[in-house]
Structure formats: structure tokens, C-alpha cells
Amino acid sequence: MKISVIGLGLMGLPIAQRLMHCGHDVLGWNRSAERLAAAQAEGLNATADLNRVISQGEIVVLTLSDAAAIETVLFEQLEDGLLKGKQVIQMGTISPDESREIQHRILAAEAEYLEAPVLGSIPEAKNGSLIVMAAGPEAAYQHCLLLLRCLGKEVEHLGGVGQAAAMKLAMNQLIAALTAGFSLSLGLIKAEGVDVEQFMGLLRESALYAPTFDKKLGKMLEHNYANPNFPLKHLIKDLALYQEAADKNGIEPSISESMLAVLQQGCDAGYCEEDYASLYEAINPGFDMDVDEGC
């Protein structure tokens, strides 16, 4: 199958590579010359000619950063008529309303639309173990199912467009909540001089444990958040989208507002491009470094 992958960032490139590994004919595009060159250096067939990439693909996979990027690429930069007859799969994290609006415009361009955001990161994209959440017409889902199963063994069809977008925001809100909660607890453990491994041993045996705690523990203890699979700035963007959707649906906003403010503090402190676990530094500003140095 000929597939056009639009956006070769942190997730777009490994998704494109995985599709190529599964035997698909993949052609990629990225607006950044640096990322385009990096993709080509890793063996991906990629070009800066957007119109060529779209015209050659039967299926167009969007792995762009946000709805504004999709708007710019598909409806401002692209030549009229090139989407006609194509299947578009939107895999980024956007709001339910944004996804429904994009669907409306895709249909007006005489193309089909399926939203399919994913849960997981670069390693899962590379080995095809992402959790894929699809929503849209049943016919579009069935048409794309083999492609999506290349990316994730379990591909859930959740219903109409907007429902997968909502599921993805709900999941990413949990990423923020779990990491913030763990940062609060770990901060107290460190401040009171409790042995961290004793704390973790008890936590791992309890119903409170989540595997993400161990995944992020080392980064927090070492204060090293380099080479992120998911930067803090992206979590801020996603939590802001969650808050917007929650406000619309009458969900009490104060908790997400507080979390968003703390995440922004981390970004303001210079961690925007770092791993989202760096929100530990915003929750525990300064004192933990001093404790370690005094030991």
C-alpha cells in the first residue's frame, strides 16, 4: 500500500519506519529541513515536495503537532483537489471539536477521514506495540485496519469522530496527574530522608503502583531529563486541550488548571524541551538538590 506520512517528528519518523518495515511503500514529508534530512539519513524515502507526497499516497497519515499545523499543511499549502479520493488518518493529539472540524473539511475535499491517536512512545512505535484508538466511519476503520495493526496489536474502534480524540486527552491527563502525584510523594520522601528504595518497594506491592513511576524515577533522582520521548511542552499542549474539552463538558476545572500552572512553571524554568518528568523540578524546586549535596 502506498502511504504518505506527513510530519516526521518524534513520533512521525518511527511510525513511518514501522510502516515501511511492514512492507508498505512509504513517502514522508516534513516542513523542517533538519528533520527531513534526519529521516533521509535513516533510510526513509522523504521529500520537501508536499504536493508530490500527497499525490502518490493512497492513504495520508497525519503525524503533525497540532490542529493549526494540520490546517496550514492540508488547507493552505496543499494544491486544491489533491486529497480527492484519498483516506486521511489523523494520528496527532487534538481536541474532539478540532477533529470534527478537520473531518468536515476533509469530506468537503471528497476524501475520507479517520482519527487514530496512539498511546505509547518511540520504542512502542518502532516495535509496533502502540495502543491505537480509532474513531470514524466503520468503512474507513475497516479499510485502515491492517495498516493500524502494523502499529499496534490492539486497535480499538471507539465510535464516531471525536471519541478517540477524547480518549487520548483523557489518557494524557492521566500522564500528567500520575507524574505530578508521584513527584509530590517522592519529594516528601526525599525531604524527610526516607530511603527511596524502601518507599518504592512498598509502593510496588500496593494497588497504588503504576509502571510509569519506575520509568521516571531515575530521571527524577538524577535530575536528568535529556533526550525525551515526550517533551514537557507537548504535555502542556495536551493538558490545555483537555482543560478546554473539560470546560465545555462541565467538568470541575480547578485540578487541571492547577496542574497546568505547575507544568508551565517547569517550562518557564527551562524544561520545555526536556522529558515531562521534569515537572518534578517545578513541584520540588531546589530543595532536593540541596538534600543530595548534603548527604
**Domain residue limits, the chain:** 2-160, 165-294
Return the CATH fold of 165-294. Answer: N-(1-d-carboxylethyl)-l-norvaline Dehydrogenase; domain 2 (1.10.1040)
Gyration radius from the chain CA atoms:
20
User: Does residue 210 have a pLDDT over 50?
Assistant: yes
Determine the pLDDT at residue 211: 96
pLDDT digits (tens, 9 = 90+) for 233-264: 999 999 999 999 999 999 999 999 999 999 99
pTM listed for this prediction: 0.93
Domains 2-160 and 165-294 share a fold: no
pLDDT digits (tens, 9 = 90+) for 126-139: 999 999 999 999 99
CA 51 – CA 71 distance, rounded (Å): 15
The average pLDDT across 165-181 equals 97
**Torsion-angle region of residue 152: left (phi > 0), alpha (psi -120 to 50) or beta?**
beta
Please, which residues have CB within 8 angstroms of residue 110's CB and are 6 or more apart in sequence? 83, 84, 85
The average pLDDT across 13-24 equals 97
Determine the pLDDT at residue 52: 96
User: Does residue 290 have a pLDDT over 50?
Assistant: no
The average pLDDT across 101-114 equals 97
Determine the pLDDT at residue 293: 42
The average pLDDT across 152-170 equals 95
Strand, coil or helix: 45: coil
CB 260 within 8 Å of CB 268: no
Position 289 confidence tier, pLDDT thresholds 50, 70, 90: low
Determine the pLDDT at residue 177: 96
Please, which residues have CB within 8 angstroms of residue 140's CB and are 6 or more apart in sequence? 87, 112, 113, 114
Position 206 confidence tier, pLDDT thresholds 50, 70, 90: very high
Is the domain defined by 2-160 classed in CATH 3.40.50.720?
yes
Count other C-beta atoms under 10 Å from residue 31's C-beta.
Answer: 16
Judged by average pLDDT, the poorest of 15-29, 156-170, 250-264, 280-294 is 280-294
